[in-house]
């Protein structure tokens, strides 16, 4: 056992999630062997369990995109400086965090190359060449790639990484109506993946002018609330109108023979969501994986002594075969560790179901089944096991989602006065739902005063603002907004 313990990474989590969320999070992401730190500050190695989660999300989302007619392309990693500079707001938004390639081998390049922080500028130059007539529209392209945003804030693994993986969708349409209609489609896909794969709820809404994407006309986001009381922005969708079309001269000949600019959208879903998933579902023992994203869904741990070893291992192998068609199954028959040590290890890694079998269980034709999400144990007849596993995996997923949704709802506090707002933000944290007049001044005051921001204006809450007064200036409120501290 000595060699494993030397390794250190299998040590348990030494702090409680409720007492020190930030340290808990830092420990759990790496001790679970989901991701690891590297020599590059702010960039992670995705280990097999971590990458499995991402590629599962990617495949599921990719199939949904394709069913909608959105197809994949791939554009270069580097963007020449002159291209990045073409859309004024865009470049101002991204310039402070661009990683610049200045040399190749021993030669200085004639022009600096940006490592893509996002690909609008390199893609749209091609769009301008490719789109000529209304027949070329809609053009609905997506890329799966890596991007770099060299933020100088302290990086938080996954949640605020300097390199991350994502999808970036970039679609062009002949009309504003079609461009707008795509929002529901894309946010629907994002919500479906969040809910059905990651067991994560979120709050859909529109960003304020000051928080929208650099270069967009409007940004819509899905916002999460972490157990720390601090929010994190999830996937987003940007309506670009004709901003980029004008900067990059993306025009088409319409059916009447008139030349028009296209209307564009962009949208992205990133590996940040894996951080949200870990933060929401994990507990003091480690990760708790939503079953669909767990590389191993069921771990079988044989319990034996020297006399019973052969017969137990044999039974376990047979059982494993039966379950393998239903769930990704692993038999941990490593002799060097005790069952207790193994329980601890697989709990740390968040495997949804543990099956324990010893000689006495075999004789009684049963096994002990333990859920990772709530720790509940039960005896199950061997013949019922495959069916039980299937329904347990679904139950676990539902339970994780229900818990996360309950926590999200509980995190929203309606506030009517500035004093209440301050109390929430500086106290428990979470979202303060407040009426706002729409003025950037009031928004700015919240930022400066209590270091919180308007995360978004939740969809379906517009009516709520009627007759209310802005929480900052007391003028008539136009919007209902969520305010929170944010990663």
Interface residues toward a second copy, by CB under 8 A: 3-4, 6-7, 9, 36, 38-40, 43-48, 50-52, 54-55, 71-80, 83, 95-107, 112-113, 115, 122-123, 125-126, 129-130, 132-133, 135, 141, 145-146, 148, 150, 152, 163, 165, 253, 334, 336
3-state class of 388 per DSSP?
helix
421: helix, strand or coil = helix
Place of tokens 């049963």: 366
The DSSP annotation for 130-170 comes to H--BGGG-SEEEEEEEEEE----SPPBTTTB-SEEEEEEEE
* Closest distance to a second copy from the beta carbon of 216 (Å): 21
Q: How far is the CB of 424 from a second copy (least distance, A)?
A: 34
Asked if residue 375 lies in contact with residue 353, where contact means CB atoms within 8 angstroms, the answer is no
Closest approach, Cβ 45 to a second copy, in A, equals: 5
Residue among 257 and 467 whose Cβ is closer to a second copy: 257
Q: Which segments of 293-439 does DSSP mark as H helices, in order?
A: 309-324, 339-348, 359-363, 385-410, 418-426
CB of 401 vs a second copy, minimal distance in Å: 27
With respect to a second copy, which residue has the nearer C-beta, 44 or 385?
44
CB of 165 or CB of 477, closer to a second copy:
165
Closer residue to a second copy in complex, CB, 106/448: 106
227-251 as b/e: b if 16+ CB within 10 A:
bbbbbbbbbbbbbbbbbbbebbebb
CA dihedral 380, 383, 384, 387 (to 10 degrees): 130
Q: Select 53 or 315, whichever has its Cβ closest to a second copy.
A: 53
Cβ distance to a second copy smaller for residue 95 or 311: 95
CA distance 62 to 480: 34
C-beta of 72: minimal distance to a second copy in Å? 5
Residue 250: CB minimum distance to a second copy, A = 14
> Can you say whether residue 365 is alpha, beta or left, with left for phi > 0 and alpha for psi between -120 and 50 degrees?
left
CA–CA distance, 409 with 391 (Å, rounded to integer)? 27
Q: How many CB atoms lie within 10 A of CB 207?
A: 22
- Shortest spacing between CB 109 and a second copy, in angstroms: 8
CB 247 within 8 A of CB 131: no
Q: Name, in order, each residue with C-beta under 8 angstroms of 144's C-beta and a sequence gap of 6 or more.
A: 58, 62, 72, 165, 166, 167
Q: Which is nearer to a second copy, 241 or 350 (CB)?
A: 350
Angle, vertex CA 238, rays to CA 119 and CA 266, nearest 5:
35
To a second copy, the closest distance from the beta carbon of 106 in angstroms equals 7
d(CA 329, CA 114): 44
Name, in order, each residue with C-beta under 8 angstroms of 416's C-beta and a sequence gap of 6 or more.
434, 435, 468, 471
- If the CB atoms of residues 127 and 213 are measured against a second copy, the closer one turns out to be 127
Peptide bond preceding 138 in cis form (omega within 30 of 0): yes
* Shortest reach from residue 20's CB to a second copy, in Å: 25
- By beta-carbon proximity to a second copy, the closer residue of 112 and 422 is 112
> Please, which residue, 110 or 307, has the CB nearer to a second copy?
110
Beta strand pairing status for 251-253 and 259-261? antiparallel
Q: For a second copy, give the closer residue by CB, 129 or 409.
A: 129
Closest separation between CB of residue 151 and a second copy, Å? Answer: 9
Q: How does strand 298-303 pair with strand 329-331?
A: parallel
308-to-318, 332, 361, 418, 432 alpha-carbon distances in Å: 16, 16, 12, 69, 59
Question: Which one-letter DSSP state was computed for residue 19?
Answer: T
CB of 229 to a second copy, least distance (A): 30
- Whichever of 133 and 459 has its CB closer to a second copy, that residue is 133
Minimum Å gap between C-beta 105 and a second copy is 4
């Amino acid at each position: 056992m000595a060699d494993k313990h030397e390794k250190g990474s299998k040590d348990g989590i030494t702090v409680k999630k409720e007492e020190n969320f930030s340290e808990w999070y830092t420990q759990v992401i790496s001790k679970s062997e989901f991701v690891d730190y590297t020599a590059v500050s702010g960039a992670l190695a995705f280990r097999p369990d971590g990458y499995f989660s991402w590629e599962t999300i990617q495949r599921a989302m990719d199939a949904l995109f394709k069913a909608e007619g959105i197809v994949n392309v791939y554009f270069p990693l580097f963007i020449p400086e002159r291209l990045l500079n073409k859309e004024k707001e865009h470049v101002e938004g991204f310039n402070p965090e661009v990683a610049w390639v200045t040399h190749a081998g021993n030669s200085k390049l004639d022009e600096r190359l940006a490592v893509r922080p996002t690909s609008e500028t390199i893609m749209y130059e091609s769009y301008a060449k490719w789109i000529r007539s209304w027949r070329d529209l809609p053009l609905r392209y997506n890329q799966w790639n890596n991007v770099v945003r060299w933020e100088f804030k302290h990086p938080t693994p996954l949640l605020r990484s300097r390199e991350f993986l994502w999808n970036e969708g970039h679609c062009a349409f002949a009309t504003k109506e079609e461009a707008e209609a795509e929002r529901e489609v894309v946010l629907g896909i994002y919500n479906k993946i969040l809910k059905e794969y990651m067991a994560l709820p979120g709050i859909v809404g529109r960003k304020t002018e000051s928080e929208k994407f650099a270069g967009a006309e409007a940004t819509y986001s899905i916002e999460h609330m972490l157990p720390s009381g601090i929010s994190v922005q999830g996937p987003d969708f940007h309506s670009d109108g004709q901003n980029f079309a004008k900067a990059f001269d993306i025009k088409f000949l319409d059916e009447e023979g008139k030349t028009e600019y296209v209307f564009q959208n962009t949208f992205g879903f990133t590996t940040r969501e894996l951080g949200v998933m870990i933060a929401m579902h994990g507990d003091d023992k480690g990760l708790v994986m939503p079953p669909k994203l767990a590389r191993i869904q069921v771990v079988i741990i044989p319990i034996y002594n020297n006399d019973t070893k052969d017969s137990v291992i044999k039974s376990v192998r047979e059982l494993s075969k039966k379950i393998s068609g239903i769930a990704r199954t692993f038999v941990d028959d490593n002799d060097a560790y005790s069952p207790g040590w193994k329980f601890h290890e697989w709990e740390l890694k968040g495997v949804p179901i543990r099956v324990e079998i010893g000689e006495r269980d075999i004789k009684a034709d049963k096994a002990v089944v333990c859920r990772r999400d709530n720790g509940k144990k039960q005896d199950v007849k061997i013949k019922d096991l495959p069916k039980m596993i299937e329904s347990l995996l679904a139950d676990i997923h539902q339970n994780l989602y229900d818990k996360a949704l309950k926590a999200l709802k509980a995190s929203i506090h309606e506030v009517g006065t500035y004093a209440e707002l301050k109390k929430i933000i500086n106290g428990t944290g979470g979202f303060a739902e407040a009426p706002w007049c729409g003025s950037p001044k009031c928004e700015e005051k919240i930022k400066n005063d209590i270091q919180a921001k308007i995360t978004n204006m939740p969809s379906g809450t517009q009516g709520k603002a009627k007759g209310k007064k802005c929480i900052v200036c007391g003028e008539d409120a136009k919007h209902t907004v969520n305010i929170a501290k944010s990663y």
